[in-house]
């Protein structure tokens, strides 16, 4: 597993953290669709943020749980992981 979060890993986290099954290819094709279109609410996103923080051993930016789209979330998380912030 790379340090960067991929759409495939995000789809797996949506399944394990929020119980929402999303086709990773659909997530990759429609990265600007809103999370609520996939059935993910703010509580589910908060669970994903917590899982990633545990996995990487450091906090994500506070606005991570406020992202509205997969692309927004991937960009923010990956920028944070790359910068070490």
Place of tokens 């790359």: 82
* CATH number of the domain located at residue range(s) 7-83 in this protein: 1.10.1200.10
| Tally of CB atoms within 10 A around 49 | 22
pLDDT tier at 4, thresholds 50, 70, 90? confident
Q: What is the mean pLDDT of residues 19-42?
A: 94
Long-range pairs of 4-8 with CB within 8 A, sequence gap ≥ 24: 4/78, 4/81, 4/82, 5/52, 5/74, 5/77, 5/78, 5/81, 6/74, 7/31, 7/70, 7/74
Residue 85: is its pLDDT beyond 60?
A: no
pTM of the model: 0.90
The structural domains of the chain, with segments of one domain joined by +, span 7-83
């Amino acid at each position: 597993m790379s340090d960067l979060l991929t759409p495939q890993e995000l789809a797996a986290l949506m399944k394990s953290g929020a119980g929402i099954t999303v086709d990773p290819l659909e997530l990759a094709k429609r990265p600007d669709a809103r999370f609520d279109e996939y059935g993910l609410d703010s509580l589910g996103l908060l669970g994903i943020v917590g899982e990633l923080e545990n996995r990487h051993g450091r906090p994500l930016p506070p606005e991570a749980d406020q992202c509205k789209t997969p692309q927004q979330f991937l960009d923010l998380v990956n920028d944070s992981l790359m910068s070490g912030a």
